[in-house]
Amino acid sequence: MTRMTTSIEKNHQGVALMVLLENRGKKSLFMAHMIAGLPTISESIQVAKALAKGGADIIEVQIPFSDPMADGPTIAVACEEALKKGATVKKALEVVKKVAKFKKPVVVMTYANPIYRMGIPKFIKTISNAGAVGLIVPDCPFDTMEGWSLLATCKAAGIALIPVVSPGVPKERLETLAKDATGFWYCTTRQGITGATSVFASDLPAFIKTLRSTSELPVAVGFGVKSKKDVKDLSKVADIVIAGSVFVVALKKNKKISAVEKTMSQLKL
Amino acid sequence: MTERETFGGAYIPEMLWETLQQLIAAFEKAKRDPEFQKEFRDLLKNFSGRPTPLIFAERATKKLGGAKIYLKNEGANHTGAHKITHCLGQGLLAKKLGKKMLIAETGAGQHGVATATVAAKLGLECVVFMGNEDIRRQRPNVFLMERLGAKVIPVEYGSKTLKDAVNEALKFWMENLEKAHYCIGSVLGPKPYPEMNRYFQSIIGREIRSELQEREGKLPDVVVACVGGGSNAIGSFYDFVPESSVRLIGVEAGGIGKKVGQHASRKIAGVLGIFQGYKSLFLQTDDGQIAPTHSISAGLDYPGLGPELADLYQEGRLELTYALDTEAVAAVDFFAKLEGVISALESAHALAHVIKIAPKMKKDHIIVATLSGRGDKDLFNFARAFKDKSFRDFLKDEYNRYD
């Protein structure tokens, strides 16, 4: 993992992620996803706390966007609700800052337009100051003007720009991405969108093998992770298992934040 | 914007990369493939009914007292609008790519009906995404799509209009990449869609040129078209871009006012952004959230401008303006009474602008306005807009005839 070490060595939180990954032994880590502003801005901080208490190793904070193209209905509707209740990018970034205080590495996820609108340098500076270690932007490929700008700005700030890939992405493309990727690969369990189903692609293990042959970066796997069995199955091939929609569902169903902690601890191996 | 912006691009999840590469390759090949060209031309002529007529609007010209007005009647196409042209092109490409299904989004329902029609003709399955709000506004088209064998899936969240239908169609595509081709209905989305749909639609401008040459022996002075995403507009304009004497005017939806959510005009409030796979001007909030839009016409009720049009607008080649809901409705009536043409509400935005500019122009000048679609689909909306009591009674009676 030499690449990751060099890319994020200046960043205190980044070191935490790196140490975490290097010392995990054979156990895979768990990245839990949440939406800043769901159910409300202040309560979403409690959701993060519940995830941390429930055993999440890394927390992924999604900054809501009106039209989340890679998200299934569960998260898309939840983002819409968060926005309706007054979430804004600025307020969501305050949430990131508070969540980072729970001593778990925080990865920010959002879409290209909110970042572009704020301005790439300002956005990266804000999440860096907030203590985030990584950034995921599923609709901004590295080889675009904004992708290049994000890569350079993230590198300078010690933030990992994490690529999202899926079974079916050809090896030549992975090799191109690998040249610039930092942190870890975010590998989806199949082609498609978040949440939808727990049916993982049959070529997922082979694809992860290709990923590993392409670079030394750790591999995080998510999309449709709903049960302990899913976590168990994926941890055989993944360094990090990711779940998200399952917590949104738990929160909605029970209307209590404690349900998030319970769900998290039930999923954790 | 001090530096010149590059619009367009491919801002997409990596899982779409390979599929788009294949589409780009198939499109480039098709451009040079005589067999493809022959099939495409044959379908345009013998299925869609091209070339479409260029109508000299003689009585409207006289009444307005200025420039000579011609209407390029794309409503004469099979299914009633220009949309079928790029659907046929994409349908043929989908077959070349070995796809079994066409996916489409639709606002007014025109692109949905056109895609369903082409899917039936070419023997492909068809799934159409349509916002619930639009289904409410354009129920007859849903019925037609279903009769054509398509599955229409209502989009229940977001603003429940065209942009949300695009989102859902994209998502469905990502879940069905092997099987399906996403037949995007305008000159927007990631590369190669804006260029590809413009390539297919630019036949409109070529026909205008040759038809007008035959009738008047010269180029038009102004070409006017309505702009939602901009497929009929760029189709009409493209052939005239190098002709600096020809003014190109795009007419957007001015809706009911200038506040956020009251219109769909990028001229009024468009800001550079990245959305649905492309970079262009979008109606959005200061927070970078895509803003709600409004138009009486579902087909113009969309926040983004096709990137090639944004490019022409930036370089000053294209002028943008807007027409209000009320002006569009009045324009339908004006041209219906004087020219025997009932325009779709979308196209009526272009006609409303013609009414504004023609009187100020010299009599030997020529305006060509593209009538992107005919108004049959807007029957119910017209009836409501004109507060037609007998139509209301008819609907009541019709309702009672059920069961």
pLDDT, tens digit, for every residue of B34-50?
A: 999 999 999 999 999 99
Confidence tier at A14 by pLDDT (50, 70, 90): low
Residue type, A87: A
In a domain, B399, yes or no: no
- Which residues does A171 contact at the CB level (< 8 Å), separation at least 6? A210, A214
Domain boundary (B134, B162, B196) is at: B196
Is B25 near chain A, with CB under 8 Å?
no
Same domain, B76 and B146: no
Closest residue of chain B to A73, computed from CA coordinates = B157
In a domain, B187, yes or no: yes
Looking at the structure of chain B, the number of domains it has is 2
Q: What is the pLDDT of residue A2?
A: 39
Q: What is the pLDDT of residue B3?
A: 59
Q: Whole-model pTM?
A: 0.94
Domain with B171, as residue range(s), is 14-45+82-196
Q: Contacts of residue A149 in chain B, CB cutoff 8 Å? A: none
Same domain, B262 and B373: yes
Tokens representing A98 are 């508070």
Q: What is the pLDDT of residue B308?
A: 98
Same domain, B235 and B339: yes
Is B167:B87 a contact under the CB 8 Å cutoff?
Answer: no
Q: What is the pLDDT of residue A10?
A: 44
Same domain, B27 and B138: yes
Confidence tier at A203 by pLDDT (50, 70, 90): very high
Closest residue of chain B to A91, computed from CA coordinates = B287
In a domain, B398, yes or no: no
Same domain, B287 and B209: yes
In a domain, B252, yes or no: yes
pLDDT, tens digit, for every residue of A217-228?
A: 999 999 999 999
Distance from C-alpha of B127 to C-alpha of B143, rounded to nearest angstrom: 14
Residue A60 is among the residues annotated as catalytic for this protein: yes
Residues β-bridged to residue B252: B322
Q: What is the pLDDT of residue A77?
A: 94
Same domain, B107 and B152: yes
Same domain, B248 and B163: no
For A67, the closest of B18, B163, B177 (CB atoms) is: B163
Strands (E), chain A: 29-35, 58-62, 106-109, 134-136, 160-161, 164-165, 185-188, 219-222, 240-243
Is B3 near chain A, with CB under 8 Å?
no
Residues in chain A: 269
Is the predicted pLDDT of residue A35 greater than 50, yes or no?
Answer: yes
Residue type, B226: C
* Cα→Cα distances B380→B122, B134, B153, B388, B394, Å: 31, 13, 22, 10, 11
In a domain, B88, yes or no: yes
Q: Point out the catalytic residue in the list A43, A67, A71, A216.
A: A71
Q: What is the pLDDT of residue B137?
A: 77
Q: Do A141 and B17 touch (CB under 8 A)?
A: yes
Q: Contacts of residue B18 in chain A, CB cutoff 8 Å? A: 168-170, 173
Same domain, B69 and B88: no
CATH number of the structural domain spanning residue B238: 3.40.50.1100
- Which residues does A159 contact at the CB level (< 8 Å), separation at least 6? A8, A11, A14, A124, A127, A128, A132, A133, A134, A135
Sheet holding A106-109, edge to edge: A160-161, A134-136, A106-109, A58-62, A29-35, A240-243, A219-222, A185-188, A164-165
Q: Which of B173, B190, B273, B281 is nearest to B227 (CA)?
A: B281
Tokens representing B77 are 């196409």
Same domain, B106 and B238: no
Sign, CA dihedral A231-A237-A241-A246, equals negative
Confidence tier at A42 by pLDDT (50, 70, 90): very high
Q: What is the pLDDT of residue A7?
A: 43
Q: Do B157 and A77 touch (CB under 8 A)?
A: yes
Same domain, B68 and B89: no
pLDDT, tens digit, for every residue of B256-309?
A: 999 999 999 999 999 999 999 999 999 999 999 999 999 999 889 999 999 999
* Cα→Cα distances B163→B135, B168, B275, B301, Å: 14, 9, 10, 8
Is B199:B89 a contact under the CB 8 Å cutoff?
Answer: yes
Instruction: Tally C-beta pairs within 8 A across A and B.
Output: 110
Q: Do A140 and B11 touch (CB under 8 A)?
A: yes
Any idea what DSSP says for residue B80?
Answer: G
- Segment A176-189 shows an average pLDDT of 95
pLDDT, tens digit, for every residue of B164-183?
A: 999 999 999 999 999 999 99
Same domain, B168 and B227: no
Is the predicted pLDDT of residue A163 greater than 60, yes or no?
Answer: yes
Indicate the range of A101-110, B312-321, B394-403 predicted with least confidence.
Answer: B394-403
Asked if the ipTM is above 0.85, the reply is: yes
DSSP-assigned states of every residue in B234-265? HHHHGGGTT-TTSEEEEEEEEET-SSTTS---
Neighbours of B22 (CB within 10 A): 14
Closest residue of chain B to A113, computed from CA coordinates = B274
Is B160 near chain A, with CB under 8 Å?
no
Domain boundary (B143, B175, B196) is at: B196
For B274, the closest of A112, A166, A173 (CB atoms) is: A112
Q: Point out the catalytic residue in the list A22, A57, A60, A94.
A: A60
- Segment A153-171 shows an average pLDDT of 95
Going along chain A from its start, the domains and CATH numbers come out as 2-264 (3.20.20.70)
Q: Which of A219, A223, A224 is nearest to A238 (CA)?
A: A219
Residue A139 is among the residues annotated as catalytic for this protein: no
pLDDT, tens digit, for every residue of A70-103?
A: 999 999 999 999 999 999 999 999 999 999 999 9
Distance from C-alpha of B248 to C-alpha of B359, rounded to nearest angstrom: 18
Q: What angle do CA B48, B35, B105 make, to 5 degrees?
A: 45
Q: Do A166 and B13 touch (CB under 8 A)?
A: yes
Place of tokens 């492309």: B278
Interface test with B, best of A63, A117, A198 (most B CBs within 10 A): A117
Same domain, B146 and B190: yes
For B14, the closest of A69, A115, A166 (CB atoms) is: A166
Tokens representing B258 are 């200038």
- Looking at the annotation, which residues of B are catalytic? 83, 105, 372
Domain boundary (B137, B169, B196) is at: B196
Confidence tier at B139 by pLDDT (50, 70, 90): confident
Say whether the peptide bond before residue A105 is cis (omega within 30 degrees of 0): no
Interface test with B, best of A115, A139, A142, A194 (most B CBs within 10 A): A139
Interface test with A, best of B129, B164, B174 (most A CBs within 10 A): B174
In a domain, B217, yes or no: yes
